[in-house]
Amino acid sequence: MTNHPVYNFSSGPGTLPEAVLRTAQHEMLDYNGTGMSVMTMSHRSDMFMSILHHAEQDLRGLLAIPDNYKVLFLQGGANAQFNMVVMNFANGFKRVDSVVTGNWSATAHSQMGKLSDVDIHLAADGKPSGYTALPGVGEWDIDAGSAFVHFVSNETANGLQYRTMPTLPEGMPPLVCDMSSEILSRKINVADFGVIYAGAQKNIGPAGVTVVIIREDLLERCSDRVPNVWNYKTHINKQGMYNTPATYPIYIAGLTFRWLQTQGGLKKMEALNDLKAETLYSAIDNSGGFYTNNIHPDARSKMNVVFSTGNADLDKRFALEASFRGLEFLSGYKSVGGMRASIYNAMPLEGVAALIDFMTEFQRRYG
Ligand SMILES: *Cc1c(COP(=O)(O)O)cnc(C)c1O
C-alpha cells in the first residue's frame, strides 16, 4: 500500500470511480441480500435481469436516448463492432464511407471490408497531417447512397477529438460512430446518429462489454444470413440474452451510470472534463516549449492528452519517475510515443493537479 493516492492515467482499461469500486467491494459476496455475488448469478435470473434493465434505463436517462433507439450490451469489444456494423447494416449496399482520423479509425477502415463485398470508401484521411488535425464534415467525400458513414469521435491513441460532434444533413446516410473513449464525457444528441458503439473499458466499466445504441429502422437491414452471435436483430429479439452477456462488467457499468447521476449527469461531467483538459493543456502550453502537444487546437482531445519533451529517452524517464509518484500509465501509445494522460470521467481534478505538479518538478530538474 502506498500512503499517497495513485492516479491512473491508463487509456484503457481506464480508471473507475472509487465509489463504484467500493460498492462492488461491499456487494462482492452478497448482492442486495441474495447471499450471492453478481458474478455467479444466472444471467436469466430476476436479479440479473433487473441489473441489466436498470443499467439500460440509467444509460438512456444519461444520454437522453430516444425511444426509437435500441441498446445492447455486447461482447467482442469495439473491434468486433468494426465488422458487425458492416455485416448488419451494409447488406444490399455497395459502399460504406469511412473517415480515417487516427489509429482506431484506420484499424476500422482496414477491417470493415473483410467478409464483405462492399467498397469501404476512404471518405477523408487525416494521415497526411500525421493525424494532428481533423477533416471537417465538409471535407468528407460521402455519397447519399452509401450504407453509412463511419467515424471515430475521439482518437484515443493520437489524442484528437471532434470538439463539435459531426452531423450530416437530412438525406445523407446514417452516421456510425465509435465513441469508445469519450462516451458519457459530454452531452450528445443521439438522434444525430444511426449507431453509436463504445467498448466499456475506457469511460464506463471494466473490459468485456460494449455498449451499442442502434436506431430501430436500421434493423430492417439485418439479414438472417448473418450468424446469430453477430446479428444485432437476434440480440435485440432475445432482449440481450441470446448468449451469456458479460454479467459482471454490465453490473459495474450500471454502478458507473448511477455514479454519473449522483455527480449531476453529463452536463456537470462535461464542465469538469473541460476544466481538467484546459488545465492540463495550459500547463503544456505554458512550459516554455519543454512540453509540446502538436494537435491542432480545435482537435485536441479532452479525454486523451498527448504531450512530449521531444526526446524519447526523457519521455521514458518521465513515465518511469511519474510512476514512482503514483502517477501511472503515462506512456504514449506504442506507435505514437511520448506521453499520454487519459483523463476520463473518473479522473478527479486532483489527479490532473498532481500530474501538473510533477510536470513542473520534472521540468525543473531536466529542463
Ligand atoms: C480502445 C478502442 C478500441 C478498441 O477497443 P476493444 O474493446 O479493445 O476492441 C476501438 N476504438 C477506440 C476509439 C478505442 O479507444
Domains and CATH numbers, the chain: 21-262 (3.40.640.10), 265-366 (3.90.1150.10)
pLDDT at 225 exceeding the cut of 90: yes
Residue nearest atom 8 in ligand 1 by C-alpha distance: 77
On whether 37 is known to bind a ligand per the annotation, the reply is no
What DSSP character marks residue 181? Answer: T
**Contacts (Cβ under 8 Å, ≥6 apart) of 16:** 205, 206, 252, 256, 346
Residue nearest atom 7 in ligand 1 by C-alpha distance: 77
pLDDT at 2 exceeding the cut of 70: no
pLDDT at 3 exceeding the cut of 90: no
Q: What pTM was estimated for this model as a whole?
A: 0.97
pLDDT band at 335, cuts 50/70/90? confident
Question: Active-site residue numbers?
Answer: 104, 178, 202
Whole-number Å distance between alpha carbons of 286 and 280: 10
3-class secondary structure, 177: strand
What's the 34 CA to ligand 1 centre distance in angstroms?
35
What DSSP character marks residue 72? Answer: E
Q: Which residue of 10, 79, 183 sits with most ligand 1 atoms within 8 Å of its CB, as the best mutation to test the pocket?
A: 79
pLDDT at 359 exceeding the cut of 80: yes
Residue nearest atom 3 in ligand 1 by C-alpha distance: 78
Q: Ligand 1 pocket by C-beta < 6 Å: which residues? A: 12, 77-79, 104, 152, 156, 178, 180-181, 199, 202
Amino acid at 118: V
Q: To which H or E segment does residue 331 belong?
A: none
Question: Which atom number of ligand 1 is nearest to the Cα of residue 77?
Answer: 7
pLDDT at 115 exceeding the cut of 50: yes
DSSP one-letter string for 235-279 = HHHTTT-SS---HHHHHHHHHHHHHHHHTTHHHHHHHHHHHHHHH
Give the model's pLDDT for residue 236: 97
DSSP one-letter string for 186-250 = S---GGG-SEEEEETTTTTSSTT-EEEEEEGGGGGG--TTS-GGG-HHHHHHTTT-SS---HHHH
Q: Which residue of 10, 81, 98, 104 sits with most ligand 1 atoms within 8 Å of its CB, as the best mutation to test the pocket?
A: 104
Residue nearest atom 5 in ligand 1 by C-alpha distance: 78
pLDDT at 7 exceeding the cut of 70: yes
Question: Which atom number of ligand 1 is nearest to the Cα of residue 152?
Answer: 13
- Mean pLDDT on 159-186: 97
Give the model's pLDDT for residue 1: 44
Question: Which atom number of ligand 1 is nearest to the Cα of residue 12?
Answer: 1
On whether 103 is known to bind a ligand per the annotation, the reply is no
On whether 360 is known to bind a ligand per the annotation, the reply is no
- When the pLDDT of each residue in the chain is averaged and rounded to a whole number, the result is 97
- Specify whether the CB–CB gap between 111 and 79 falls below 8 A: yes
